[in-house]
Structure 1
Amino acid sequence: MAMSNSLRNKLIAAAGGGAMLIATVFLGGKDGVEGRVYEPYKDVAGVWTVCDGITGAGVVQGKHYTDRECDSLLWQRVRQVKAQVDPLVKVPLDEYQRAALYSFTYNVGTSAFSKSTLLKRLNAGDVDGACEELRRWIYAGGQKWRGLMNRRDMERTMCLAESADDLAGK
């Protein structure tokens, strides 16, 4: 599944705001890749989740979350992911590549990212090869998931984009 025109246009508009803003736009809200859900639910791996894929002790079962709460949780989590990812990356990256890594790590966790072949290839200078590694991360609960395939394709597109024109298909 290709990136929606609405999401693509929002990512292009966010380009000047840096990788955190791009990642937040990519992940959050009604057009975001995570898909905003206001009531906690168990995801495909059985983890309690709310808003834009937020997990952890802060997820309160039975609570209805507002857009403002979801936006705040998303921004806090992306900030945390940035603080964990940036020290692990030893090569220069553009904002779209960094945003793709933030999205990926937001989804799989810092531990998985830190041990990944993706990071090894990236730090060896094989950025394109690292971006291609995203497509391997399509399993949850031991099963291949179409939603993860779609997400990884979108992250890969963002990772390989050299400019906003690449996202726009120009």
Structure 2
Amino acid sequence: MLKKRLIALIAAGAGAVTIATVAVSDFEGRSNKAYRDVVGIPTICDGYTHGVKMGDYKTDAECDALLRKELQASFSVVDSAVKVSISEPTKAALASFVYNVGAGAFRSSTLLKKLNSGDRIGACNELKRWVYAGGKKWNGLIKRRDAENWLCLQ
């Protein structure tokens, strides 16, 4: 179970990058062959979409490199946008969120406004609102946001 793995990582003092890597990998799953996500976007590896075409294939090593690159970009967004001090688990939750919804959505979100105004609990609870894709509520997003919310509140 993901939450048990996250608890163990937090107890061991793991950093945000390690925590987020485990969380994103669990949420996204991995497909070495391109597929269409729930809204029809060509996707590969661990939810990677940039420039992906149906028929593309990536090795596990290529997927690992893409995951590291995209998570690094997600952490950069969090680091530049968040103006208050946050815990490593909170940072991991936000990087996972950015990985999934994108930098623009995060930067313009009520979540970020609440966080930067000092309302960490309210900000973390905003995560639970982001459960729609293509205008439809998705169980996978509900589970992801519940886990991100829990992680954010640690």
The answer to whether 1:87 aligns with 2:86 is: no
Q: CA deviation at 1:88?
A: 0.5
Amino acid at match of 1:130: A
Where 1:55 maps in the other structure, the secondary structure is coil
Which string of whole-angstrom CA distances, capped at 9 and with x for unpartnered residues, describes residues 114-138 of structure 1? 0000000000100011010000000
Q: Distance in 1 between matches of 2:5 and 2:138?
A: 26
Cα distance between partner residues in 2 of 1:127 and 1:41? 36
How many matched pairs? 153
Q: Check the 8 A contact 1:48/1:55 in 2, yes or no.
A: yes
Q: 1:22 aligns with which of 10, 19, 24?
A: 19
Q: 1:47 aligns with which of 41, 47, 71?
A: 41
After superposition, what is the alpha-carbon deviation per residue over 1:56-100, rounded to whole angstroms, capped at 9, x for unaligned? 11x243133222111111000000111122110001000000000
**Selected match of 2:106 from 99, 102, 113:** 113
Contact kept, 8 Å, 1:11 with 1:25, in 2: the verdict is no
Aligned amino acid, residue 20 of structure 2: A
Q: CA deviation at 1:10?
A: 5.6
Q: TM-score, normalised by structure 1?
A: 0.84
Alignment partner for residue 32 of structure 2, among 24, 34, 38? 38
Partner Cα distance (2:97, 2:75) in 1: 11
Tell me, in whole angstroms, the C-alpha distance in 2 between the residues paired with 1:10 and 1:128.
Answer: 19
Q: Report if the CA contact (8 A) 1:81-1:102 is conserved.
A: yes
More deviation, 148-157/61-70: 61-70
After TM superposition, the score normalised by the length of structure 2 is 0.92
**Judging changes above 3 Å, is the alpha-carbon distance between structure 1 residues 79 and 17 closer, same or farther for their aligned structure 2 residues?**
same
- Secondary structure of the 1:16 match is coil
Structure 1 regions of 5+ residues with no counterpart? 162-170
CA distance in 2 between counterparts of 1:142 and 1:60 reads 24
Pair 1:69 & 2:66 matched: no
How large is the RMSD of aligned CA atoms in angstroms? 1.6
Q: How does 1:75-154 map to 2 (within 5 A)?
A: 75-154=68-147
**Structure 2: stretches of 5+ with no match in the other structure:** none
Identity %: 50
